[in-house]
Each structure stands twice: as C-alpha cells, then as structure tokens.
C-alpha cells in the first residue's frame, strides 16, 4: 500500500535515528544540569556576562564537564550521523555531530593553549555553544518522540479502564480470572453494566453496548449473536456470552496504539525537507569553512583563519532547524488526538494543499446507516406480505449489514418469525442467496434484475426510489416474489461538510451501490452535483483512478467495502473506527462518526503544513544569513559577524520557531 512502502534507507533514517536515542528524557535533564556550571563559568561566544564566574582552574573544570557532556549528551547524534554517512546522505544528525565535534575539539585546544602555553591573545572556546546545542537538540528529539505518547494518550487511557477480571466459562462453570490470562478462543460471560474485557463475538444473548469511550459514538448499539464487540466498551442491561477474538497486542486498542506509533515513526515530506536542508547546510558549511580558512590564512594568520573556520562550523549548527518540525508535530498531534483524529500517514496532511476531489460513500458516511423498512409487499398471488418479510429475514439472519438490520428489526417489530434458510452465501455487490424448504431464495437489487432480464414494475420502483428508499427484491427459484423498500437518515453534519468542501474548492462526489434515484435524492438534499450510483466495490477503486487523472483525490468511507478505494486514493479517510479500517485501509481514521471531522482534519492539515513551512524558513534562514557573514563575506565593507551577534541571532531564531509552533490552533469548535 502506498504509505507502507519505506525503503531500507528511509527506515534507517526514520525519526532522526530514533532507534539510537535511548532515554532522551534522562539524557536531556542530565545534560541540562551539566550545562548550568558551563554557563556560569565560560564566556558566550567570547563575551563574559555579568553573572558569570571565574576562579583559578575554572577553565579546566569547564573542560571536564564539557567532555562529559560531549560524550554523554552527544552519543545519540554520533550514532545517527554514522547511519546517515553510511547511506551517503548526511542530514540533521551529521550536521549536529559535525558542529558539536568541532566546538568540542577547538574548545579543548583553546583551553590547553590558554592555560598551558599562555597564548596571546587568548583563544576563544565554544563550550557555551557546545552545551546549549546539545541541550536544544536533545529537547527537539524528545519532543518528537513525546508526540507519539501525546497522540495515543486518549486511547491509552481507555486501556486503563479495562476491567481487571473476567468471567471465564470452563466446562459450563463460570470462574473469575485476570483479564491478562484470557486467550483467543476463550468463552466469557459479560453481565449487565460491566465493561467488556476483550474483543470478541457474541455466541448467545442480546444486549446494547455503549462504545462511546472507544469510538466516540454516544448512542447504544444493539448486539446479538455473531456481532462483534470491542474490549473497553460498556455492556447495557443484557447478559451475554462471547468468544474472545483479540487480547493484549491483538486487541483493538493495542492495534490503534500501534497505528499511531507507526505513523509517528514514518517521516513526512516536510521532515524529509528538513533533512534535505540540513544535508545542504552540512556541505555548504564545510565548503565555506574550508574556503574561509584558506582565504584568511593568506590575509591574516593561522590563528585567525582557524577561528573563522570554526566559527562558521559552529554557527551552522541547526539549533532552530532541529526544533522546527518536532515542535509543530507535537502541537498538531496533540490537537488531532483531542479531536478524535488518528493520523496513520503524516504525508496525508501535506497532500491536502493539492486536493481537488472528495469522493465519499453514502451509507454510514453521509447517512446514519440505520435503515427502516417503509414498505414490504408480495408480487405473487397467494403469498402474503408477512411471508415475504419472513423469507427476507431468514436470508438476512445473522448479518450486520445496515439493510439486513433494517429487515430484521421490521420482522421483530411485527413479531414475524424468520424463515429457516440454509446455505446462505453472499452474491458480491448484489445481495444474498440460500435455500428454504427445497427452494432457492435470494434477495437482490434492481441492477441484478436488469442484468438477468427479470421483468419488474419500473413505475413502482421509481416511485419508491424517488422517495429516498433503497429497494430490494425477493426471488424464489429465480421468480420475482416480493420487494422491500427501506429509508435511511442523512447525518445532520453531512450538509455542513459538503458546504465547507465546496468553499475550499474541493469537488464532492458521491459513490454508492444504491440505486440512482435514491442516490440523487440524498445528493440533492446535501448539495452534491456529481453522483455515481449502482456501483460494485471494485467500481469505486476504478473511479478513484479516473478522478486522479485530473487531480488529487480524497476518499471518505466506512473502510469495509471501501477498503480498495481508500488505499488507492491520495488521502484515504475512514469514518468510524472498525479495526480492519484502522489497520488496513485509511491514511486518517476519524474515531467519531462525524462528517464535520473531515473539515476539521482539512483545516488542521493546512495549518500544520503552513507552520512547518514557516519554521523551516525561520530555521534555515538564520543559517543562510549567518554562515557567509561569519566567513567574512562583508569584510571588504568592514563587517564580520561577531561570535556574540551570531549567538544572539541563533537564540532569537530558536525562540521564534518555538513560539510559532505553539501558536498552531484550529477553530474554537474543533478545539
């Protein structure tokens, strides 16, 4: 799948060598403590500040502490630099490693020259810059890793709400066991009001389940035999027995956590851009330093040439650039998690800027997916309407498809017993078939009747469909026997989503397997002009390809029948949180089944990308300006960037990048 393809080099460099980071939090705090005496005892870029101290031997104390800090705090960057250099792609880690190495080696030289050989004038050291660079870079990478924890915190808290014990059924007897002792295939009993201990399938009993804390959907969902339940959701008034299908690492919550972590460990285009900028700066700084050294060696002397070259290399260190992307990622991820957005592929956020079409499924995406039977009837004399409904219910018994649920609810409401149907099998994209009382029975669509040349009342069909109904037909031994018409409700937020998409110049397109008339009724109410109806699942994927020839495409669906088109689209957005959807299909999973979250995702994506771009310019802009000035490009005009001014610019750019990232906001409704 498009977003799962990472080559070996990408994997090696993923997350700025995060596999080498170790405990960044501890390294950062230890390094910060070691930095305090260095700041108090050593000048900043050659200038001694009023609060700084000096005593006999203080230079050696600073050198000792700086050495510890260099090898301890700098270790992650050396490991990352080695990986980058092995692949011949120097980037952020190589640039940092070069900067701190030059600063350390030159500072040790300065300490020996000043205190052993008493060189005049004194040689300036860079321990202050070494310490602050290591601290800032460790902070940046800690923030980047912490973004994973922030993103998963909402889901992680759900795992803590799982019950400690479960009622396991062994040989017909119930015994309480620890939840972590459950295994796939175990049978457990869940009583009224209890939390479901693990993912599973009902084997007996009926109930209603509140999955709000898992899916964000506040309403209760009716469950019966063969229906799936998610560990962590709350059982209603009924008691049921279930078979465990997922525990521990295989459960829904654990899979979502893995999804978020995998997303954070893959680099986005902007992060790759930051690495490219850093790689360019690596070569540029090296080249400028060499040229400056040779030039000033001829103009001045060795000490001056060496000082200028080292200043260039130290000033080139990416203080602001190292924080540019991690700070925005951390802020964006936090906002997304609070609003039920699981970003599986971070490149999806950057693709929003070129988005032209939003293709979307109808049932479950634009509509509630709660069908209600509006009409059912027999088309053969001697067969009652109730008999038709009984046959339909028999065919749909055990199915969780929205249309099936509508038929079963109607039969239950009318107290009609479902016919006994065996050998039930799906007719892909068409309906269901089976056998009852020695007869072949099937529930099919009007499209199937047209394909098979089976005559039916087109006027009746048009009348039912034009009222927004999905119409299905009952066949007995390939003879048209009855029909059922069901209606669905449009989600209240769907119309706003369509309106907002149009305002952003994104063309909404409805894709549905439903009949043309019903699709047009829904489209008209929502303001959708382009509709593709009577589609098979594979048709949607083909249509995505067609639209991609004219521009970038976002596919919005429920992630079940829509899986191929979700994977094919430039941005796949799954509404709802079915496990298969989250893991296999979509770039973005909207935990709440709210169409408005699509708009919030687009808004957040645009603002996040904008902040990343701004921060890259702030971070790189400092280096682009400071490197040539430090090398003395304006020396003929009497100006050379002093180390002190370079330090001020460096600090200022870092502060600006941090403040800019923290100002990332979405509108009040989304927050």
- How confident is the model over 155-190, as pLDDT tens digits? 444 455 467 788 999 988 889 998 888 888 999 999
pLDDT at position 655 is 77
* Strand bridging mode 530-532 / 507-511: parallel
The whole-number pLDDT of residue 119 equals 80
Q: Note the pLDDT tens digit of each residue in 405-441.
A: 889 999 999 999 999 999 888 776 678 899 998 899 9
Average pLDDT over residues 225-233: 83
Q: Is the pLDDT of residue 38 over 60?
A: yes
The Cα–Cα gap between 366 and 43 comes to: 64
Residue 249 has what pLDDT? 64
Residue ranges of the chain that CATH labels 3.40.50.1000: 346-367+493-586
Which stretches does DSSP call E strand in 295-352? 341-343
Question: Using DSSP, how many helices (H) and how many strands (E) does the chain show?
Answer: 23, 22
The reported pLDDT for the residue numbered 505 is: 95
The verdict on domain 372-487 having CATH code 2.60.120.10 is no
**Confidence band, pLDDT 50/70/90 cuts, at residue 214:** low
Residues of the chain with CATH 2.70.150.10: 162-258
Task: Report pLDDT for 252.
Answer: 61
Residues of the chain with CATH 3.40.1110.10: 372-487
- pLDDT of 121-137, one tens digit each? 788 888 988 888 888 87
What's the pLDDT band for 521 if we cut at 50, 70, 90?
A: confident
Please check whether residue 53 is in contact with residue 28, taking contact to mean a CB–CB distance below 8 angstroms: no
d(CA 195, CA 212): 12
From the candidates 275, 347, 361, 597, which is the catalytic residue?
A: 361
pLDDT at 219: 53
Identify the CATH number of the domain defined by range 346-367+493-586. 3.40.50.1000
Q: Is the pLDDT of residue 11 over 80?
A: no
Higher-confidence position of 136 and 572: 572
Averaged pLDDT for residues 613-637: 86
What is the average pLDDT value for the chain, to the nearest integer? 81
Question: Which range among 316-330, 485-499, 612-626 shows the weakest confidence by mean pLDDT?
Answer: 316-330
- Res 58: pLDDT: 92
Per-residue CA distances from 619 to 268, 276, 342, 476, 649 (Å): 18, 13, 28, 72, 11
pLDDT at position 651: 64
Q: With bands split at pLDDT 50, 70 and 90, how would you rate the model's confidence at 16?
A: very low
Can you give the pLDDT at residue 223? 86
The two beta strands, 372-378 and 479-487, are: antiparallel
Instruction: Record the pTM.
Output: 0.63
Question: Does the pLDDT value for residue 64 go beyond 90?
Answer: yes
Percent of residues, the chain, with pLDDT higher than 70 = 82
pLDDT at 473: 95
CATH code of the domain made up of 162-258: 2.70.150.10
CA distance 99 to 134: 10
What pLDDT, on the 0 to 100 scale, is given for residue 14?
38
Per-residue pLDDT of 323-335, as tens digits, reads 788 788 778 877 8
The arithmetic mean of pLDDT across residues 378-397, rounded, is 92
Say if strands 355-361 and 552-557 run parallel, antiparallel, or are unpaired. parallel
pLDDT at 603 (0 to 100): 93
* Residue 156 known to be catalytic: no
The kind and range of the H/E element at 174 are strand 173-178
pLDDT computed for residue 394 by the predictor: 93
């Amino acid at each position: 799948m498009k977003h799962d393809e990472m080559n070996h080099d990408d994997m090696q460099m993923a997350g700025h060598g995060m596999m080498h980071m170790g405990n960044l939090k501890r390294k950062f705090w230890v390094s910060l403590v070691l930095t305090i005496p260095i700041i108090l005892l050593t000048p900043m870029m050659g200038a001694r500040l009023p609060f700084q101290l000096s005593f006999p031997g203080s230079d050696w104390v600073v050198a000792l502490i700086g050495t510890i800090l260099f090898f301890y705090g700098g270790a992650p960057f050396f490991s990352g630099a080695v990986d980058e250099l092995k692949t011949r792609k120097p980037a952020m880690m190589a640039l940092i490693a070069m900067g701190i190495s030059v600063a350390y080696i030159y500072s040790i030289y300065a300490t020996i020259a000043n205190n052993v050989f008493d060189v005049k004038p004194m040689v300036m050291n860079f321990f202050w810059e070494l310490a602050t660079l290591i601290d800032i870079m460790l902070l940046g990478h800690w923030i980047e890793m912490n973004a994973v924890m922030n993103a998963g915190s909402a889901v992680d808290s759900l795992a803590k709400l799982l019950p400690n014990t479960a009622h396991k059924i062994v040989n017909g007897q119930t015994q309480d066991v620890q939840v972590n002792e459950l295994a796939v295939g175990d049978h457990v009993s869940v009583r009224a009001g209890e939390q479901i201990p693990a993912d599973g399938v009902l084997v007996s009993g009926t109930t209603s389940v509140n999955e709000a804390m898992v899916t964000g959907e506040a309403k209760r969902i009716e469950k019966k035999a063969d229906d799936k339940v998610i560990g962590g959701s709350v059982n209603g008034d009924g008691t049921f027995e279930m078979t465990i299908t997922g525990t521990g690492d295989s459960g829904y919550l654990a899979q979502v956590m893995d999804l978020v972590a995998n997303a954070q460990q893959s680099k986005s285009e902007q992060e790759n851009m930051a690495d490219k900028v850093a790689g360019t700066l690596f070569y540029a700084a090296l080249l400028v330093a060499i040229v400056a050294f040779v030039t000033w060696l001829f103009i001045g002397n060795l000490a001056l040439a060496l000082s200028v070259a080292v200043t260039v290399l130290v000033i080139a260190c990416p203080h602001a650039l190292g924080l540019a992307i991690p700070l925005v990622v951390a802020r964006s991820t936090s906002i997304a998690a609070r609003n039920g957005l699981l970003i599986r592929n971070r490149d999806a956020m950057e693709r929003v800027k070129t988005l032209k079409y939003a293709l979307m499924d109808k049932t479950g995406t634009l509509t509630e997916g709660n069908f209600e039977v509006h009409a059912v009837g027999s088309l053969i004399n001697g067969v009652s309407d109730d008999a038709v409904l009984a046959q339909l219910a028999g065919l749909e018994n055990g199915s969780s498809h929205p249309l099936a649920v509508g038929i079963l609810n109607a039969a239950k409401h009318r107290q009609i017993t479902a016919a006994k149907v065996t050998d039930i099998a799906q007719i892909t994209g068409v309906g269901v078939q089976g056998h009852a009382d020695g007869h072949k029975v099937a529930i099919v669509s009007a499209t199937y009747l047209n394909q098979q040349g089976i005559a039916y009342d087109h006027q009746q069909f048009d009348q039912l469909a034009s009222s927004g109904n999905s119409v299905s037909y009952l066949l007995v031994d390939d003879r048209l026997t009855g029909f059922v018409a069901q209606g669905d409700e449009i989600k209240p937020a769907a119309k706003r989503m369509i309106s907002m998409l149009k305002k952003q110049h994104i063309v909404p397109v409805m894709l549905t397997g439903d009949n043309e008339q019903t699709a047009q009724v829904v489209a008209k109410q929502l303001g959708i002009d382009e509709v593709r109806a009577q589609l098979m699942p594979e048709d949607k994927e083909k249509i995505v390809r067609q639209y991609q020839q004219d521009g970038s495409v976002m596919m919005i669906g429920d992630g079940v029948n829509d899986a191929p088109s979700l994977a094919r689209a430039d941005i796949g957005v799954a509404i709802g949180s079915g496990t298969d959807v989250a893991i296999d299909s979509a770039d973005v999973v909207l935990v709440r089944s709210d169409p408005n979250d699509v708009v919030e995702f687009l808004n957040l994506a645009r603002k996040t990308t904008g902040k990343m771009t701004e921060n890259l310019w702030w971070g790189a802009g400092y280096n682009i300006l400071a490197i040539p000035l430090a090398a003395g490009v304006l020396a003929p005009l009497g100006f050379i960037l002093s180390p002190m001014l370079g330090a001020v610019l460096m600090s200022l750019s870092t502060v600006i990048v941090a403040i800019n990232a923290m100002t990332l906001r979405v509108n009040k409704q989304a927050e």
